[in-house]
Structure 1
Amino acid sequence: MDVFNVVDGDGNKIRDKGVINYITKKLESDASFMPSMRRTVGVMPFEHHTPIELCGTDRPGLLFEVCVVLANLHYNVVNAEIWTHNARAAVVVHFTDDSTGCAIEDPNRLSKIKELLCNVLKGNNDLKTTKMTLSPPRFTYRERRLHQIMFADRDYQRVERAELGKDKSSRPHVTVLDCIEKDYTVITMRSKDRPKLLFDTVCTLIDMQYVVFHGVVHTGRMEA
């Protein structure tokens, strides 16, 4: 069971029964698990589209250039998302054949796509740290996959090197305590707040082969 405490945009409890009924109806209709993952948020079956992942140096217009290349080849971009951090970028794009609406399976066409998109990434003169794949895991949440790409790129290490000479008090403070009576470990972290902080924290623990039972985040004006 997942329990969420929800407030409106002003931080007030939701009391409008129409809104509550709408939320309930949407959650009940969208709730789906394996093997019916087609309606799961952020997950799409790969037989209906071609997925591509890119990782390289960030620059203005990178996602736009990727989509232009695909559009010029008469492919339809179903969805695309880019994460950037420390001058690095991770991109996930799902696209189909514009004429058939299906995934592209022809090896020659896929090779052409890879060649042209590699040329886009070469614009940064950064071939050593550029990565691209046309065959990511079969079922993955898009944001989860973007986190994995950035983590594999070790983008966080650039921050560690940059902050070696800075005041350590500004760095995140992490404590780890064993809760013997409940047979689990409690991790407490204080850091500067930012978007997706809790998401990244949970993903990192999972990547380290830990099982997360629950997590809570409290945020102030600048701190979490």
Structure 2
Amino acid sequence: MEVAAYQPYIDPDYDSLIERIYPARVCIDNETCRDCTLVKVDSANKHGILLEMVQVLTDLDLVISKSYISSDGGWFMDVFHVTDQLGNKLTDESLILYIQQALCATRRGGLSKEIQGSSQTKHFGPHHVSSEHTVLEMTGTDRPGLLSEMSAVLAELACHIAMVVAWTHHTRAACIFYVEDGVKGGPITDPERLAQIEEQLENVVEAHHAEGERRSVRLMAPMAGRMHTERRLHQLMFADKDYEQCRRCWSNGCGGGGSRGGYEHRNGCERAHVLIESWKDKGYSVVNVRSRDRPKLLFDTVCVLTDMQYVVFHASVSSEGSSANQEYFIRHQDGCTLDSETEKRKLAQCLLAAVERRASHGLRLEVSTQNRTGLLSDVTRVFRENGLSITRAEVGIRGERAIGSFYVTEASGNNVNLSTVELVRKEIGGSVSILNKSSGVSTPRGPLSAGLISRSGDEKPRLSLGSLIWSQLERFSSNFGPIRL
């Protein structure tokens, strides 16, 4: 006789019980501070909540000037001091309501239809592509012309590209295409056609890879929900182990790790530095990340900590000039600290990679032209034929126009000759604008030069949070520079 196995019934809503009893509270305060808006978040704590909050503000292109974060115990508290990109307070009522609902929506539920409609009309909110598209993900060795060849294959196979985002880091590349059927419209769902497209793209990527070299091409039919493209790119490059290229930063004293070597660097060094120390009395690992400031730096760092299953209990971010410092008090999700040098080394490498991935080199070109079938293939072909290599790209559709941002260098890695840009402009049509002429970290758009902090020379970072955390609030009220998310 077969004996039935009984298991206790657990209500699926049990996990969200605390959130339902104590829903998130979001306060938008324009009265307390003269030059910024305070976004105060008070919520039940859970893993990943910090990333959710930062992601909302990042997607709105807001600038954070100060932030204090605390999530010890079962509660999360944060105050973000924010402005828009021009340094103004947030006064648009629809934007304020959007922030309140979006921050609460990360806890439970979603945005109301009225708020969604208002955000689309006023062009704020996340610029995500809906789940109605087929998604193509690729990782592999970076080389000139790769994006051009892949987009050409998609055009030949009657696939319309709705959006693409591509990153390169050291010798690795990752990109995400959102595509739809160029003939029938809508997503591509036929398994045979999906297999055919994937095979053709695999041939393109494989052509320049040595046997056994890492590469991946995956084509997926639409899935429920939305995917945050930039977070997914971090995950793809992490899975591709691009962080292994960051060993040089650790070994030459310009990376840092389990010793003070991370801050004993050469004067004028602009590389990112990571220092990890143990605060055994309080049971924390203290992570300091120092780097050159750039947009979305905070988001990129928190992405890595969250996806590597670290919990941020306290954090401070601040700026001084063009340097940036982030200080995190963390543990593993299981409550353990980082005790081995291997763990510290890997986390340091991954944080360095996260900082570097978006710090694209090259000339930034903004392209706006009438959308048409095969446009991305044509644009990237023009770049390739003129000897330009794409280091980062983001292209999407807005109405009847295609809007793209490209960072390009000469194929040799040298600076781009402006006469070459003029040739590209003539061949592409529409408008091609030069946003910056930096061969290093991109020059910020707009008047604000935001950042996180820099410490002098061989000064040892202080353990600024812990038993005196509440008495240290004045530290976060000083005149920090703005932090570009």
Q: TM-score, normalised by structure 2?
A: 0.39
Q: Is the 8 A contact 1:172 1:192 kept in 2?
A: no
Report the counterpart of residue 14 of structure 1 in structure 2: 89
**CA offsets per residue over residues 107-164 of structure 1, 9 Å max, x none?**
2211111121112213423452111112498653111110011111111111214763
Which 5+ residue runs of structure 2 have no aligned equivalent?
1-40, 42-52, 54-78, 117-124, 255-260, 325-485
1:207 and 2:280 aligned:
no
Counterpart of 1:174 (choices 275, 278, 289) is: 275
Is the 2:167–2:175 contact (alpha carbons within 8 Å) kept by the matching residues of 1? yes
**Which residue matches 2:243?**
156
Q: 1:104 aligns with which of 188, 205, 208?
A: 188
Q: Distance in 2 between matches of 1:213 and 1:162?
A: 27
Map 1:1-224; keep pairs closer than 5 Å.
1=41, 3-9=79-85, 12-14=87-89, 17=91, 20-21=92-93, 23-24=95-96, 26-27=98-99, 32=105, 41=126, 43-44=128-129, 46=131, 48-126=132-210, 128-135=213-220, 139=225, 140-161=227-248, 164-165=251-252, 169=265, 172-176=273-277, 178=279, 186-212=286-312, 215-224=315-324
Deviation readout 1:40-90 (Å, 9 max, x if unpaired): 8355554x2111110011123322322222122111111110111012111
SS in 1 for 2:302: helix
Maintained 8 Å contact 1:45/1:138: no
In 1: Cα distance, 2:217 partner to 2:229 partner: 16
**2:311 match: secondary structure:** coil
Instruction: Name the CA shift for 1:97/1:173 in 2 (closer, same or farther; >3 Å).
Output: closer
Structure 1 or 2: larger helix share? 1
Closer, same or farther in 2 for the Cα pair 1:63/1:218, shift >3 Å? farther
Over aligned residue pairs, what C-alpha RMSD do you find?
3.5
User: What is the TM-score of this pair, normalised by structure 1?
Assistant: 0.76
Q: Which residue type is aligned with residue 6 of structure 1?
A: V
The structure with the larger Rg is 2
Q: Where do 5+ consecutive residues of structure 1 fail to align?
A: none
Structure 2 contact 274–287 (Cα < 8 Å) conserved:
no
CA drift at 1:5: 2.4
Among the aligned pairs, what percent are the same residue? 36
3-state SS in 2 of match to 1:202: helix
Change over 3 Å in CA distance of 1:218–1:123 after alignment to 2: farther
Give the deviation of 1:221 after TM superposition: 4.5
In terms of fraction of residues, the more strand-rich structure is 2
CA displacement at 1:201 relative to structure 2? 1.9
Instruction: Please state whether the residue corresponding to 1:121 is helix, strand or coil.
Output: helix
Instruction: Provide the C-alpha distance between the structure 1 equivalents of 2:129 and 2:231, rounded to a whole number of angstroms.
Output: 13
How far does residue 194 in structure 1 lie from its aligned partner after superposition?
4.7
